[in-house]
Amino acid sequence: MKISGFKYLANQGIENIWKNKMMAFATFCVLLISLLLVGGSALFYYNMNSMILGLGNQNEIAVYLNPSTETLRVQQIQAQLENMDNISSVEYISKEEAYNRMQNQIQQGKAIFDYIDSYEFMPDGFKVTVVSNDLIEDTTAQIGSIEEVQSASSSPQVAEFLRELRRVVSIIAIAVIIALSAVSMIMISNTTKASVFARREEIQIMKYVGATNAFIRTPFFVEGMVTGFFAGAGAFFITWAVYRAIFRILMDQGTLVRAFGVGSIIPFDKIQLWVALAYLIVGSLVGALGSVISTRRHIDV
Amino acid sequence: MVELQNVSVTYSSGVDALNNVSLKINDGDFAFVVGSSGAGKSTMIKLLLKEIDATSGVVTVNGYNLGKLKKRKIPEFRRTLGFVFQDFRLIPSMTVYENIAFVLRVIDAPLKYIRKRVPYVISLVGLHSKTNSYPDELSGGEKQRVAIARALVNDPQLIIADEPTGNIDPELSYEIVELLKGINDQGTTILMVTHEHDLVRHFGGRIINITGGEIVFDEVISGVDEVLPEEELAQAMAEASSVSNTGNIILPDQRIMTPNGEYADADRNGGAE
């Protein structure tokens, strides 16, 4: 096919959108809704995953040293911890700070501190955050094996629970996305079929005058692709507006944000490029292929 | 050229649509194909367009052996044909110009040629003033002229016209056939399927009558309208060697007689009287 021929067919495809505007609009709407359903589910899953991971990051190992450990040794142990695998951060908690925290925590029996004149009996300690919760038990054992470490404790049950939660959420989310994709494909297929069916006679005429299948399909391909592209753009702007609104509402909830890992919701700015690309590419491809596949039934004359 | 050699078509339902049909239409011929509905005319057209394949026999159109023609070669073959449908089959969203130019687009013709050829063909069918009109702005006769222009624009060797006068006024039917006759005079082979015996009788030429899937009559007749006297009709009926499904009688001297008693002379040697 010559370039001028392709240009003609591409123009035909674009003109067809206008000429068959009602069917094109129906295809646009179905593609838009389908993209929003699948895209929205994918973003919901992505954020749930991030929130669970965020909750996991709050899982810490409490490390207490022997009270008699000297300051230099404390510093050495801190350096040693910082160099270990799977350690995200190490926060030093001095004897004095630990004493103050204890005073704050025991409000009712505060009088007992009148009999204590020094915090020297308190141990130095560290608040260690891990990179991966999955390895928290190993990391805890490794820290516990360091000399001068009186105790290293974590809550592996929390890690296990979060791991299980992620697994369940992933299965549900993937199932929902697959189901929505299937429903969307059926809707898109029916709409494009109806759109092509309305023009079956046109296709037959083309066949009778000796048009090749490629010649017949190219305008449908371009038409589907352009409609899909605009549906993708529409889906992106709706997602952008809704996502930002939800993000703002949740972030205004203050303490709730930390408590439920809402703080880990991904700001739209960080993912907008990928969301836009995904919508536009998937929209264009599904639109184009749906349209071309639907011509198959009418092309064999 | 069109040639059918011992062609039979049996549909999957078991219906024998064509039964051992042999036929040859030479380049430059004009032939009417007549027959009642269900006689096998449509099946023959489908065969010639390679829409269906023969169950047995050989179909050759414009040098293509259709039984051996590969699927991907069908577009190339169809470009050697022009086709005129009873219901016009114009693309409603395209103007007269676009409907005709479209055929040349299909064969990737240069734009310069399209711009020259399409107006020429439109003027041939006398629709110059309707160049930019849409099909729904045209009368039946005008639509059919556009369809003929579309069939003609590609300069095909053969034009197949399936009941081209079926959806238009009787007086316009004569114009359409005259237009096709004019195209035939330029050397294009025309195969016109019709059930309008008045037209056939008026224009004469080669008549192929298909009945019950068989060719029962294939002769060249003159285009003279005549009416037989009553007693001659009765005698002719008695002497008739064959009677077709349409009620036409083929007389022993090879003349055709309609049930009304009108007849036209037949000439087996190909010359009209």
Same structural domain, A96 and A115: yes
Task: Choose the mutation target among B61, B103, B104 for the interface with A, i.e. most A CBs under 10 Å.
Answer: B103
Report the residue from A5, A20, A210 with minimal CB separation from B76: A210
> Which residue, A224, A244, A247, is CA-closest to A236?
A244
pLDDT in the model for residue B46: 92
Task: Choose the mutation target among A6, A205, A212, A298 for the interface with B, i.e. most B CBs under 10 Å.
Answer: A205
pLDDT in the model for residue B241: 41
b/e sequence B225-262, b meaning 16+ C-beta within 10 Å:
eeebeeeebeebeeeeeeebebebbbbeeebbbbeebb
pLDDT in the model for residue A258: 58
Token representation of residue B242: 């064959």
Token representation of residue A59: 């899982």
Same structural domain, A183 and A278: yes
Q: How far apart are CA B139 and CA A111, in angstroms?
A: 109
Among residues A154, A184, A214, the one where a domain terminates is A154
Same structural domain, A95 and A164: no
**Can you name the residues that pair with B220 across neighbouring β-strands?**
B206, B267
pLDDT in the model for residue B4: 95
Average pLDDT over residues A269-285: 93
Contact B111 A206 (CB under 8 A): no
pLDDT in the model for residue B114: 94
Identity of the amino acid at A12: Q
Residues of chain B with Cβ-Cβ distance to A14 below 8 Å are none
Backbone region of residue A212 per phi and psi (left: phi > 0; alpha: psi in -120 to 50; beta: other values): beta
Same structural domain, A174 and A277: yes
For chain B, how many structural domains are there in total? 1
Residues of chain B with Cβ-Cβ distance to A215 below 8 Å are 106
| Residue A3 touches chain B, beta carbons under 8 Å | no
Identity of the amino acid at A143: I
Contact A208 B91 (CB under 8 A): no
Residues of chain B with Cβ-Cβ distance to A208 below 8 Å are 49, 78, 83, 89
Task: Choose the mutation target among B70, B85, B91 for the interface with A, i.e. most A CBs under 10 Å.
Answer: B91
Residue A150 pLDDT exceeds 50: yes
pLDDT in the model for residue B76: 92
Whether the CB-CB separation of A89 and A206 falls below 8 Å is answered with no
Whether the CB-CB separation of B107 and A210 falls below 8 Å is answered with yes
For chain A, how many structural domains are there in total? 2
CA atoms within 13 Å, Cβ hemisphere of A301: 19
Task: Return the H-helix or E-strand segment holding A92.
Answer: strand A87-93
| Residue A211 touches chain B, beta carbons under 8 Å | yes
Identity of the amino acid at A10: A
Residues of chain A with Cβ-Cβ distance to B103 below 8 Å are 209-210
- The residue range of the domain holding B134 is 89-155
Model pLDDT for residues B173-202, shown as the tens digit of each residue: 888 899 999 999 999 999 999 888 888 888
pLDDT per residue of chain B (273 residues) written in tens, 0 to 9: 899 999 999 999 988 999 999 999 999 999 999 988 888 898 999 999 999 999 999 999 999 999 999 988 999 999 999 999 888 889 888 899 999 998 998 888 888 999 999 999 999 899 999 999 999 999 998 999 999 999 999 889 999 999 998 888 888 888 889 999 999 999 999 999 988 888 888 888 899 999 889 998 888 877 644 444 445 544 544 544 444 445 565 555 556 666 566 665 444 333 333
- The residue range of the domain holding A42 is 3-55+160-299
Q: How far apart are CA B144 and CA B45, in angstroms?
A: 18
Q: What's the gap in Å between the CA of A231 and the closest CA on chain B? A: 25
Same structural domain, A84 and A201: no
Residues of chain A with Cβ-Cβ distance to B154 below 8 Å are 209-210
In this structure, the number of other CB atoms found within 10 A of the CB of residue B185 comes to 10
Indicate the Cα dihedral angle A141, A147, A153, A154, nearest 10°: -50
Residues of chain A with Cβ-Cβ distance to B75 below 8 Å are 207, 210-212
Same structural domain, A272 and A233: yes
Q: A19: nearest CA in chain B?
A: B93
Q: Is residue B108 part of a domain?
A: yes
Q: How far apart are CA A243 and CA A272, in angstroms?
A: 10
Which residues touch A289 (CB under 8 Å, ≥6 apart)? A224
Max avg pLDDT among A8-22, A117-131, B60-74: B60-74
Token representation of residue B8: 């039979």
What residues of B are in the A interface, CB distance below 8 Å? 49, 51, 75-79, 81, 83, 89-91, 93, 102-103, 105-108, 111, 150, 154
Which residues touch A140 (CB under 8 Å, ≥6 apart)? A61, A152, A153, A154, A156
Same structural domain, A31 and A170: yes
Same structural domain, A176 and A46: yes
Q: B150: nearest CA in chain A?
A: A209
In this structure, the number of other CB atoms found within 10 A of the CB of residue B37 comes to 8
| Chains A–B, number of C-beta pairs less than 8 Å apart | 48
Average pLDDT over residues A263-271: 82
Contact A209 B111 (CB under 8 A): no
Average pLDDT over residues A55-61: 69
Average pLDDT over residues A34-63: 82
Contact B75 A210 (CB under 8 A): yes
Whether the CB-CB separation of A266 and A242 falls below 8 Å is answered with no
φ and ψ at residue B50, rounded to 5 degrees? 60, 35
Same structural domain, A203 and A291: yes
Contact A209 B106 (CB under 8 A): yes
Confidence class for position A107, pLDDT limits 50, 70, 90: low
Contact A208 B93 (CB under 8 A): no
Q: Which of A185 and B247 is assigned the larger pLDDT? A: A185
Q: What's the gap in Å between the CA of B106 and the closest CA on chain A? A: 5
Whether the CB-CB separation of A179 and A280 falls below 8 Å is answered with no
Displacement of CA A181 from its chain's centroid (Å): 17
Whether the CB-CB separation of B148 and B84 falls below 8 Å is answered with yes
Same structural domain, A104 and A46: no
Q: What's the gap in Å between the CA of B143 and the closest CA on chain A? A: 15
Contact A209 B89 (CB under 8 A): no
Model pLDDT for residues A246-264, shown as the tens digit of each residue: 888 877 776 565 556 656 6
Complete DSSP assignment for A131-162 = S-GGGHHHHHHHHHTSTTEEEEE--HHHHHHH
Q: Poorest-confidence range of A194-203, A274-283, B129-138, B195-204? A: A194-203
pLDDT in the model for residue B236: 47
> Which residue, B44, B65, B13, is CA-closest to B208?
B44
Q: Poorest-confidence range of A31-35, A181-185, A243-247? A: A181-185
| Residue A2 touches chain B, beta carbons under 8 Å | yes
Residue A273 pLDDT exceeds 90: yes
Q: Is residue B125 part of a domain?
A: yes
Handedness of CA A44, A45, A46, A50 (dihedral sign): positive
CA atoms within 13 Å, Cβ hemisphere of B7: 29
pLDDT in the model for residue A115: 75
Same structural domain, A209 and A295: yes
Identity of the amino acid at A107: Q
Q: How far apart are CA A48 and CA B271, in angstroms?
A: 90
Identity of the amino acid at B207: I
Contact A205 B89 (CB under 8 A): yes
Q: A215: nearest CA in chain B?
A: B106
Which residues touch A32 (CB under 8 Å, ≥6 apart)? A231, A234, A235, A238
Whether the CB-CB separation of A287 and A31 falls below 8 Å is answered with yes
Displacement of CA A13 from its chain's centroid (Å): 36
Residues of chain B with Cβ-Cβ distance to A206 below 8 Å are 102, 106
Percentage of chain A modeled with pLDDT above 70: 89
> Which residue, B261, B239, B235, is CA-closest to B251?
B239
Q: How far apart are CA B208 and CA B217, in angstroms?
A: 6
> Which residue, B70, B53, B39, B72, is CA-closest to B11?
B53
Q: Which of residues 277-296 of A touch B (CB under 8 A)?
A: none
